[in-house]
Structure 1
Amino acid sequence: MLEPPERTLPVPPAQERAVWEEARLDPPTMTHLRARAVEDLGRPWPSLPARHYARYFRDGDRDTYEQLVFARQRRLSRAAVLAAATLEPDWLDEVVDGVVALCEQSSWCWPAHDDTHTRHHAVLPTVTDPVLDLGAGEVAAQLAWVDHLLGGPLDQHTPGLRTRVRHEVDRRVLTPFAERRDWHWLGLDGDVHNWSAWIHGNVLVAALRLLDDPPRRAAVVDLVIEGLDRYVASLPLDGAVDEGYGYWWQGACRAIEALDILAHASGGALDGVPDALRDTVAFPHRMHLGGDWYLNHADGMARPPGSQPWDALYRAARRVGDQDALAHAAAHRDHAAPVADEEQGLGRLLRALNHPEWIRVAPGAPPLTRDVWLPSVQVLLARPVRGSTAGLTLAIKGGHNGEHHNHNDVGGLVVALHGVPVLVDAGRPTYTAQTFGPDRYDIWTMQSTWHNVPEIRGTAQAVGHAYRARDVVAVIDPVSSQLSLDIAAAYPRADVRRWRRTARLERDSGRIVVTDAWELAPAAPVAPTRFHLLVAGDVRLGKGRAAITARHGAGRLTLTWQPASAPATATVRPLDDPMLAGVWGRTLTRLEIDLGAATATGAFVLTVEESSARDVSSGEVSDVQGR
């Protein structure tokens, strides 16, 4: 069913000059790429000191090495596009240097994924035992795209280079993929996550372009299809991703792109989009709060990088006929900005550059769905009206504490004002060895005590599938939207019989009401129960109330609670991690409302309302120090 290798990737090669003459390419994209690429010319390629690889195993730092690797790959992508646009020897030389640098790199695996220490007691790559991870898959696919784009010119300019590429991709990626079937990301144990779609998609690109033996190529592609089937089968029918919005792009989106390439490579014989993938195309716009803010769960960011591959979402939405998803993608098209950039990977950059409809599309307004209910992950998002960020938006989740990239956040709330989060989920800091190690939940952002959930009798939520929401009921109608759930089982305490949380957005008043009602068994003297709220903004406290000035000019909120006698204190958390600070600024503030030794039965009611400057300044309030 497969086309010959030179026709399998859906981008014209550089020999098609009617496509690749620079004057015909999107000007903002080429201006951006050329400016960066010209800066690179004549400079040494980023080196990869062995000590930076070893650091992951010594002190947990993975980012220093990874950023050097990413710099190499981005430079090569820029050079490849300039070489295709000009066919000038200087740019072809730059491509050759970049390709050889990757081919001579000891490992394409990122240190955090390398099993060299456990299998070989080493802190440097074991070159005789290559690991196929996200990084290795990315390099293999990039080299395949370079070969497809510039194969003919490179054969004339630097004979032998393409043979070297095939050798390195085969020994590091294609052979390990076919011969080792114990890779955890295959999901053969039933645990399928975003790695599966991401790596299988990259292996597909490499096999289609760089395997010249038809039976072997067919066998590898067959294994890829099996892996993609396994990933798609793991997706819920509502299209949700438990890893959250940020990981949709590197999971479900990767699967859709792989199936698109497979359809092209087979001349349409292997075409089709399963129902779960059709529905998951809607997931990004369903998680949209407004502007560049999104509902973040797990390790996602509330304010993701702006350079998402919107072209890929646009193509997917067009393919499945989802008009809201199409509008959401188009809303991010800025004709003064590049259609895509090198950070997204060479394949995504090339496809966007060769997508005339995306290049011409007129940006419009995002759909901003009024109500979203995703039963598979038990996430509700509700706003007053469709198509507007005005007023308060409520999001609440149930789920369990064994999700992929999990945070302990069963019952967690997010409240946005005019599309800007004010009661927030912090997200995650820069990845280190600790992030996915046994001490993950020593990281404060992963703990329930730094999410918008209660701490019951001094006890935080625990980790694992068993710690989950029960009796979850969503009710959505024109008057209000609410989620009600029992979160008692999320806490490792036998004396928590029931803790029912109900969060409701009232459309007539525009306010949000959160009611916690509990039933606790008698216990020996215990620590107090506290209601926690994590705030992005300036806080002023008063009796039974707090006034919050949101950031980014979004406005002001007033929080009131009953019993009003429950005292509140605030802890200002400095943000010294660049990833967290890049989203939230210098600080976040945690409100701690003390319910004391909670009675056997009781209730706590929190009301959130938009307020004016006069509302904020009235009453008996005091500033929280340390902002």
Structure 2
Amino acid sequence: MPAINDSAASARARLDAVLGDAPFSLLRPLDDEAAWRDAFARTGCDPADAIAEGDRALQTADWSPIPDDLYLEFSRNGNRVNYQKALAEKTAPLNALLLAECAERQGRFVPAIVAGLECLYLQAKSWTLPAHDPGTTTFLGTFVHIDLVSSAVAARLADLLVLFGGRLPADVHARIASAIRHHVADPVLATLRGERKADFWMDYTNNWNAVCWAGCVRAFLALDMPREDRIAVAAAAVANVPAFFASFHADGISSEGQGYWGYGFLHYTLLAETLRIATRGRLDLLDTPFARLCARNPVYTAMHGSAYPTFADMPVNIPRDVSPLTAWLDRRMGWSLDLATPPTTPLAEIGSLFAFHADGLPVLRDPLPADTLRASRLLPASGILISRAPDCAKPFALAIKGGHNGEDHNHNDVGSYCIFWDGDWLAADPGAETYTRRTFSDRRYVSPLLNSFGHDVPRLGPGVLQSTGGSFRGTVAECSLGHDADTYGLDLAGAYEFAPLVSLRRSVEARRHGTEASFTIDDTFEYDSPQDFETAIIVYGEAARTAEDAIEIRRWMGDRAIVRVETSAPWAFSCETLDAEPNSPRYPRPARIAIRFAAPASSGFVRVTFSS
């Protein structure tokens, strides 16, 4: 539990010496009209567009309460989607109204903003998501759990108190402050005093730690609260947030996947920048060797542009632009990659840094090579290879992972790979499933998207899949990166429990020839007796065997590609849609292509080649 221990006491003494007395927010008050005019320009946000969106929200917003029954649905059947969808549908117009008021600053949108705040927060029994409310105790008021959402809401609302100042009715201002205390501030202080059981995330080793501590600290610093309380919470965060980095490999790569890196490290950055600015530069949580290494995730793992491997619980969507966080880190870390800053808004969490805190930014001067986003890279601790072919006429890249099957947001996916070609996935790791109660239970690996059946890795003998746990791992046996070719070898036998298995090796060869390239994945196996062997390719689309040595993939977007297949023995083809809900409305359900030996064998190989 994060009671004030020696490290927290040390942090408390340090903060006591440098933290100011006045409430602090990353936002500027609306009364600072010049700052807000500049903020819209700096973030590429058109005030006229923001006002127009606000006017639309005035006409369409529905501030009727979200029914209690929808909140309680998760406790009945494990469905978390319906409540979260309803919450998002009401949050979006409120955000539009807030941005419109920041653009216009005439008070015209304030009554609707107050109505939205009433609906979503001031009358809500819980700010915690139903999936994070064990026994619905937050909803019932018997024990208030602080989660990812409630901590972020507390920070958001505390920021709004600074933003609006006296522009909100006094009673609304007081009720917002009271609600923040009830849902977040009072439980945190009670925990630090030893009067309440700690929320698990307070010293936990994944994104929850950084996200929740960042929200709590930002809320406490922005609220008009006793200085000793603000210092106590900030010190507890400084003492405990290093646990977040336990979810990273020694090479700085997040085992939770790139999506959760973006979520967790965004909030770590917000915590770090809040404390740096509030202490006038005397405390900088980004200026540590490992934080600087972990910040490099997006530039080390990018396959092409903003396409990242969909390992672990990563959404399969491919964003259009580099993230604002990555662009901010390029500036802050001094990578010197000159990444373009995508449009954002002054109210977006990272947008507030671009809007109000870009001048005089202390650069950490950690330059990266100019070819960082073009060259292939092995990340040795995580066993990930990013093989890029940047000069192809159609963008072409491969990512493959080693690692183990006990990682954060784990999938049983040692050896899984994905191939990006011409704007989308040619071969895919299916990424995250649609979350339900089962997802984070002892039945997690029932899902074909989470066990190894739904990944492009071998299935052995009578259908043996990879086993779960940190001891089941792949070992990188070789890797060579060059101008024209990359080679990578992974020992996969350690990921399986199957007594007849003697050896299992997956090799990758990447070849680059000017504007053409190819990736070959070669699985070589040996048993101590004849057994079945099968390997897989995961695609978003359909597939058919078109020749003895060829499979045609018809991607969901309509185009086609040929995969060449070589085997040491006759093989059978099948393709089935995986029985799992897609994690993106853009994509259909993933399909699993199986390449299966027609008869048991003691040894053999399957070699598949993807060409640009």
Give the structure-2-normalised TM-score. 0.86
1:438 aligned onto 2:442: yes
The 3 A distance-change label for structure 1 pair 555 and 340 is farther
Partner of 1:116: 135
Matches within 5 A, 1:547-586: 547-550=552-555, 552=557, 556-563=561-568, 565-573=570-578, 577=581, 579-582=583-586, 584=587, 586=588
Q: Which amino acid aligns with 1:113?
A: H
Partner of 1:624: none
What SS does the corresponding residue of 1:507 show, helix, strand or coil?
A: strand
Measured after TM superposition, the shift of residue 177 of structure 1 is 2.3
Tell me the distance in 2 between the aligned counterparts of 1:210 and 1:173. 12
Counterpart among 315, 320, 323 of residue 336 in structure 2: 323
Q: Which amino acid aligns with 2:529?
A: P
Counterpart among 19, 32, 36 of residue 2 in structure 1: 19
Tell me the distance in 2 between the aligned counterparts of 1:289 and 1:114. 37
1:127 aligned onto 2:131: no
Q: Which amino acid aligns with 1:503?
A: V
**Given that residues 303 and 399 in structure 2 are in contact (C-alpha distance below 8 angstroms), is that contact kept between their aligned partners in structure 1?**
no
Measured after TM superposition, the shift of residue 74 of structure 1 is 3.3
**Given that residues 40 and 47 in structure 2 are in contact (C-alpha distance below 8 angstroms), is that contact kept between their aligned partners in structure 1?**
no
1:67 aligned onto 2:69: no
Partner of 2:214: 201
Partner of 1:19: 35
Measured after TM superposition, the shift of residue 225 of structure 1 is 1.0
Measured after TM superposition, the shift of residue 71 of structure 1 is 3.4
The 3 A distance-change label for structure 1 pair 594 and 13 is same
1:100 aligned onto 2:118: yes
The 3 A distance-change label for structure 1 pair 269 and 70 is same
Tell me the distance in 2 between the aligned counterparts of 1:29 and 1:432. 38
Partner of 1:474: 479
Tell me the distance in 1 between the aligned counterparts of 2:162 and 2:593. 56
CA RMSD of aligned residues (A): 2.9
What SS does the corresponding residue of 1:405 show, helix, strand or coil?
A: coil
Tell me the distance in 2 between the aligned counterparts of 1:10 and 1:77. 17
The 3 A distance-change label for structure 1 pair 86 and 545 is closer
The 3 A distance-change label for structure 1 pair 199 and 388 is farther
The 3 A distance-change label for structure 1 pair 468 and 367 is closer
Counterpart among 585, 594, 597 of residue 595 in structure 1: 597
What SS does the corresponding residue of 1:347 show, helix, strand or coil?
A: coil
The 3 A distance-change label for structure 1 pair 192 and 262 is same
What SS does the corresponding residue of 2:453 show, helix, strand or coil?
A: helix
Measured after TM superposition, the shift of residue 262 of structure 1 is 0.7
**Given that residues 417 and 427 in structure 2 are in contact (C-alpha distance below 8 angstroms), is that contact kept between their aligned partners in structure 1?**
yes
Tell me the distance in 2 between the aligned counterparts of 1:533 and 1:27. 41
Measured after TM superposition, the shift of residue 510 of structure 1 is 2.6
Tell me the distance in 2 between the aligned counterparts of 1:533 and 1:240. 25
Tell me the distance in 2 between the aligned counterparts of 1:475 and 1:27. 42
Counterpart among 395, 403, 410 of residue 406 in structure 1: 410
Q: Which amino acid aligns with 1:417?
A: W
Partner of 2:289: 275
Counterpart among 489, 493, 512 of residue 498 in structure 2: 493
Measured after TM superposition, the shift of residue 453 of structure 1 is 0.5
Counterpart among 70, 73, 76 of residue 58 in structure 1: 76
Partner of 1:623: none
1:150 aligned onto 2:168: no
The 3 A distance-change label for structure 1 pair 553 and 72 is closer
Tell me the distance in 1 between the aligned counterparts of 2:409 and 2:495. 17
1:512 aligned onto 2:519: yes
The 3 A distance-change label for structure 1 pair 400 and 211 is farther
Partner of 2:299: 285
The 3 A distance-change label for structure 1 pair 456 and 115 is same
1:386-444 Cα shifts (integer Å, max 9, x gaps): x7674642221111111111111111121222353211112233222222122222222
**Given that residues 339 and 353 in structure 1 are in contact (C-alpha distance below 8 angstroms), is that contact kept between their aligned partners in structure 2?**
no
1:34-68 Cα shifts (integer Å, max 9, x gaps): 23322232644142101101110112211111122
Tell me the distance in 1 between the aligned counterparts of 2:409 and 2:603. 34
Partner of 2:5: none
What SS does the corresponding residue of 1:250 show, helix, strand or coil?
A: helix
1:375 aligned onto 2:380: yes
What SS does the corresponding residue of 1:571 show, helix, strand or coil?
A: strand
Q: Which amino acid aligns with 1:185?
A: W
Tell me the distance in 2 between the aligned counterparts of 1:395 and 1:213. 50
Tell me the distance in 2 between the aligned counterparts of 1:503 and 1:544. 19
The 3 A distance-change label for structure 1 pair 556 and 522 is closer
The 3 A distance-change label for structure 1 pair 573 and 212 is closer
**Given that residues 414 and 422 in structure 1 are in contact (C-alpha distance below 8 angstroms), is that contact kept between their aligned partners in structure 2?**
yes
Q: Which amino acid aligns with 1:19?
A: A
Measured after TM superposition, the shift of residue 480 of structure 1 is 2.0
Partner of 1:177: 188
**Given that residues 236 and 276 in structure 1 are in contact (C-alpha distance below 8 angstroms), is that contact kept between their aligned partners in structure 2?**
no
Of stretches 375-384 and 601-610 in structure 1, the one that deviates more from structure 2 is 601-610
Tell me the distance in 2 between the aligned counterparts of 1:90 and 1:559. 63
1:199-248 Cα shifts (integer Å, max 9, x gaps): 11111110101152111111111011112233246534422111111111
1:394 aligned onto 2:394: no
**Given that residues 569 and 593 in structure 1 are in contact (C-alpha distance below 8 angstroms), is that contact kept between their aligned partners in structure 2?**
yes
Measured after TM superposition, the shift of residue 20 of structure 1 is 2.7
1:268-301 Cα shifts (integer Å, max 9, x gaps): 1112522222223321233333355321101112
1:244 aligned onto 2:257: yes
Partner of 1:164: 175
1:48 aligned onto 2:77: no
Of stretches 415-424 and 194-203 in structure 1, the one that deviates more from structure 2 is 415-424
**Given that residues 534 and 597 in structure 2 are in contact (C-alpha distance below 8 angstroms), is that contact kept between their aligned partners in structure 1?**
yes
Q: Which amino acid aligns with 1:534?
A: I
Tell me the distance in 2 between the aligned counterparts of 1:285 and 1:46. 44
Tell me the distance in 2 between the aligned counterparts of 1:79 and 1:438. 42
The 3 A distance-change label for structure 1 pair 192 and 211 is farther
**Given that residues 194 and 250 in structure 1 are in contact (C-alpha distance below 8 angstroms), is that contact kept between their aligned partners in structure 2?**
yes
The 3 A distance-change label for structure 1 pair 372 and 592 is same
**Given that residues 127 and 149 in structure 2 are in contact (C-alpha distance below 8 angstroms), is that contact kept between their aligned partners in structure 1?**
yes
1:455-493 Cα shifts (integer Å, max 9, x gaps): 010211122212211354322223421221211121222
Tell me the distance in 1 between the aligned counterparts of 2:438 and 2:345. 33
What SS does the corresponding residue of 2:521 show, helix, strand or coil?
A: strand
The 3 A distance-change label for structure 1 pair 57 and 307 is farther
Tell me the distance in 2 between the aligned counterparts of 1:408 and 1:230. 24
Tell me the distance in 1 between the aligned counterparts of 2:105 and 2:427. 53
Q: Which amino acid aligns with 2:32?
A: E
1:507-536 Cα shifts (integer Å, max 9, x gaps): 34832222222232337xx6x221111123
Partner of 2:232: 219
1:428 aligned onto 2:441: no
Measured after TM superposition, the shift of residue 94 of structure 1 is 2.5
**Given that residues 113 and 133 in structure 1 are in contact (C-alpha distance below 8 angstroms), is that contact kept between their aligned partners in structure 2?**
yes
Counterpart among 504, 508, 516 of residue 503 in structure 1: 508
Give the structure-1-normalised TM-score. 0.84
Count of residue correspondences: 573
What SS does the corresponding residue of 1:504 show, helix, strand or coil?
A: strand
Q: Which runs of 5+ in 2 are unaligned?
A: 1-17, 360-369
Partner of 2:106: 88
Q: Identical aligned pairs, as a percentage?
A: 25
Measured after TM superposition, the shift of residue 3 of structure 1 is 2.1
Tell me the distance in 1 between the aligned counterparts of 2:198 and 2:393. 47
Q: Which runs of 5+ in 1 are unaligned?
A: 358-364, 611-627
Of stretches 283-292 and 548-557 in structure 1, the one that deviates more from structure 2 is 548-557
